[in-house]
Structure 1
Amino acid sequence: MLLAHASASKLYKLKYKSKQRGSIGLSIYAFGLTPYSNSKEDEIATQRAKDFLFGWMLKPLVFGDYPYAMKRVLGPRLPVFSEEESEQVKGSSDFVGIIHYTTVYVRNSTSTTPSLIPRRQDFFTDTRDFFRASRGLFMGNSTFFEWDSIPWGLESVLEYVKQSYNNPPIYILENGTPMKHGSTLQDTPRIEYIQAYIGAVLNAIKNGSDTRGYFVWSMIDVYELLSGYMYSYGMYHVNFSDSGLKRSPKLSASWYTGFLNGTMDVSPRDITQMQSHFSGPSSL
């Protein structure tokens, strides 16, 4: 993927960039990562998780090679860049796209149980880390859909990328929170989530992060990769049972519109005021 990205980036810059003045970047799925305890093992595991989650893509893009921790753990299973490939990959992204929803605890996971079963070769075995979130687990095929609001986690991601990878331009391509589809149009928790995370982005920018854009996931309810139509992130409700797919604005749509045009303060009291004057039905 990195070589394909670098090749496409080179072609674009040679043939199209001067006319179109576009930019090419690569995105990563970026959990906030914090140690589960104060133990040295969990601190090392957290850094190892960062190397696998962020460094796998970002270190080649910025420095031309994989993190040392990945080389040590994976050995010959990890591809090796030729000198020419390294130079082609390095600097091939004009920006880094960040997809972020929540923050997880990281705990060092060691298994001492003897087994005759061949060692699994997957992400979690390679990192030897165990990820835990407040409302559920993220390990193997387990998933959870109701993210806790932990805005400082996004701020820490932006700070880490700034310090570790030469402060590249960043666009936050996805950030939002799910609610059970059709539960209500007065999605105050979503407003509080978005408001808090925008504040975290502002803090990171004030601290020097070169973050240039922020996109809420999502404008309308869509089919979600992990939860189908059960949970939705949209600021507009979509009635999937209606042949015309009728769309209705949620409270978050009104709040975000006000935020973008500067007529809405971001203080929590304004959410209550909006809720009392909301013209749509209270539930579906």
Structure 2
Amino acid sequence: MSKDKFLWGSATAAYQCEGAWDEDGKGPSIWDDYCHSTANLTGITGDVSCDHYHHFKEDIKMMAEGNQNTYRFSLSWSRILPKDDHVVNEAGFRFYDELIDECEKYGIVPNVTLVHYDLPDYIGTWTNPKVSDEFAYYASVVFKHFGNRIPLYTTINEPNHNAYCNYCVGNYPPNETNLQHYCECAYNMILCTAKAVKEFRKLNLNSLIGIVQGCGPAVSLKDDPEYLEAVKYCDYFCNDWVLDPAIKGILEDELIEAVKAKGIDLSFVDPNFKDIIKNNTIDFLGQNIYSRMLVKPNTSGITSFTVNNAGNNDGTNNSARETRAIKDWFEFDRDENTQLNKWGREIYPKCGYITLTKRKERYGNIPIYITENGHGCYDIADENGYVEDDERIEFLNNYLQWILKAKEDGVNVQGYYVWSTMDLYSWINGYKKRYGLVRVDYEDGNLKRTPKKSYYWYKEFIKKYQNI
């Protein structure tokens, strides 16, 4: 991989696209268990999804024909280590080897995430005290097998959002609302990354290792001291616990004391914790960009979390807005002048610029890859399966202009990935909410792929900016 070549690509995740949920020795993940349980009220699963497992050659070829030179995907831990016995499933490695073969055939750089929400079911939850050691073992197996064939590794996708959905909103397994468990989860995720980095460094690879963060820094509409205090606490909750240990090798004492003051029992923390994170920091940051974290002082006096997953939300119902509130800390603010998408989330393109410049302010010149940026829509296809998704094109173009401006202004942006490569399973939103550059016809027995208008737009955009 040329260090000077900007990477233009798109992204997927294993559970969301692979299908083949129990083929070739794969073990069950927590998402397999959840989707097959009575807790899944929709009955919709990722058992087949767009069946990338059997269509990957077609999908990679389509990426290459669209001028994409990189592919971000995740590995299924339970496809590689299906049981709690440390025995590798060689068929799992064979699939990923063949996928990377195909990437190499077309000059597409793999950017690979170790875990994108789908823990093996034998691990259970992120609160399992053994998870960081098991993750380190899994990571070491992956690093030794693929080595420099994967130039870019990331440890965990969106630790903040993963922990938030698992233990605050409770809409992802284990479906809890428990701040104590949220903190235990966060702590274990910090250790997972540090211990994986330690294993990575042992091999002296030419590859790089990073982490993927799911939200930008908190911002406010006012610069009053109370508002700036709310910003600080929101960053504690959403950003600092992920990125400070991973990039700077520290966790600020003030953050730790603020957590204790909320009544969280930190007796689970290893006495050697600070030494572990100090010596095992990452090489680059993967930053997902969708919307801003707009906050104000907590005037409601409550702690409350909601994420909107209602399939019929048209973005006009205020109660459907995503909310986060922690008593005495912060709560989400609303700017009524900002457009919403159909799931109640702000469309605010400048957040890309704000996020990137604030990351540079806090973390210096660390290389940054925009590992996800995309727009969910109710796509409508014509009789040929073609989708004229002008709304998505407008979204991507507006965000990209701000992202490229950040690069022009000195942020070390090295690559950009549209979410997602093709239509896929969108967690508990199922298949109605589509993000893909390529349409998948789920009613067609062969899961026919049809590039959307956005695919062709992106192809030309890459051509225009390929040498930035």
- Shorter chain as normaliser: what TM range? 0.7 to 0.9
Counterpart for residue 97 of structure 1: 286
Counterpart for residue 41 of structure 1: 226
Stretches of structure 2 that go unaligned for 5 or more consecutive residues are 1-188, 306-323
Deviations 1:6-63 (A, max 9, x none): 1221112212x33xx2111111111453214454322221222123222111112233
TM-score (norm 2): 0.48
Are 2:404 and 1:196 equivalent residues in the alignment?
no
Per the alignment, do residues 243 and 69 of structure 1 end up closer, same or farther by CA in structure 2, a change over 3 Å counting? farther
Q: Following superposition, which runs of at least 4 residues in structure 1 exceed 6 angstroms of deviation?
A: none
Are 2:353 and 1:152 equivalent residues in the alignment?
no
Counterpart for residue 131 of structure 1: 332
Counterpart for residue 213 of structure 2: 28
TM-score (norm 1): 0.76
Counterpart for residue 269 of structure 1: none
Per the alignment, do residues 173 and 263 of structure 1 end up closer, same or farther by CA in structure 2, a change over 3 Å counting? closer
Per the alignment, do residues 77 and 211 of structure 1 end up closer, same or farther by CA in structure 2, a change over 3 Å counting? farther
Deviations 1:107-166 (A, max 9, x none): 2114558xxxxx899x8436732224568xxxxxxx973644312111111111111123
Pairwise CA RMSD: 3.0
Counterpart for residue 277 of structure 1: none
Query: SS of the counterpart of 2:354?
Result: helix
Are 2:258 and 1:73 equivalent residues in the alignment?
yes
Per the alignment, do residues 30 and 72 of structure 1 end up closer, same or farther by CA in structure 2, a change over 3 Å counting? same
Q: What is the distance in 1 between the residues matched to 2:327 and 2:367?
A: 30
Quick one: which amino acid aligns to residue 164 of structure 1? Answer: R
Per the alignment, do residues 107 and 237 of structure 1 end up closer, same or farther by CA in structure 2, a change over 3 Å counting? same
Deviations 1:167-197 (A, max 9, x none): 3211111101111143671111111111121
Tell me the number of residue pairs that the alignment of Structure 1 and Structure 2 aligns.
Answer: 248
Matching residue within 446, 453, 462 for 1:244: 446
Counterpart for residue 59 of structure 1: 244
Query: SS of the counterpart of 1:24?
Result: strand
Query: SS of the counterpart of 2:370?
Result: strand
Q: What is the distance in 1 between the residues matched to 2:465 and 2:222?
A: 43
Are 2:423 and 1:234 equivalent residues in the alignment?
no
In the TM superposition, residue 262 of structure 1 has moved relative to its aligned partner by: 2.7
Give the conservation status (yes or no) of the 8 Å contact 1:48–1:127.
no
Are 2:430 and 1:253 equivalent residues in the alignment?
no
Give the conservation status (yes or no) of the 8 Å contact 1:110–1:128.
no
Counterpart for residue 192 of structure 2: 4
Give the conservation status (yes or no) of the 8 Å contact 2:349–2:402.
yes
Q: What is the distance in 1 between the residues matched to 2:445 and 2:283?
A: 42
Q: What is the distance in 2 between the residues matched to 1:64 and 1:210?
A: 20
Counterpart for residue 412 of structure 2: 210
Quick one: which amino acid aligns to residue 14 of structure 1? Answer: K
Q: What is the distance in 2 between the residues matched to 1:129 and 1:154?
A: 22
Are 2:375 and 1:177 equivalent residues in the alignment?
yes
Q: What is the distance in 1 between the residues matched to 2:293 and 2:342?
A: 12
Quick one: which amino acid aligns to residue 26 of structure 1? Answer: I
Give the conservation status (yes or no) of the 8 Å contact 1:106–1:131.
yes
In the TM superposition, residue 202 of structure 1 has moved relative to its aligned partner by: 1.2
Quick one: which amino acid aligns to residue 161 of structure 1? Answer: R
Q: What is the distance in 2 between the residues matched to 1:263 and 1:81?
A: 47
Give the conservation status (yes or no) of the 8 Å contact 2:298–2:325.
no
Q: What is the distance in 2 between the residues matched to 1:175 and 1:127?
A: 32
Taking the TM superposition and a 5 Å limit, the aligned residue runs for 1:161-176 are 161-176=359-374
In the TM superposition, residue 93 of structure 1 has moved relative to its aligned partner by: 0.8
Per the alignment, do residues 251 and 200 of structure 1 end up closer, same or farther by CA in structure 2, a change over 3 Å counting? same
Q: What is the distance in 1 between the residues matched to 2:192 and 2:327?
A: 24
Per the alignment, do residues 196 and 85 of structure 1 end up closer, same or farther by CA in structure 2, a change over 3 Å counting? same
Stretches of structure 1 that go unaligned for 5 or more consecutive residues are 114-118, 136-142, 265-284
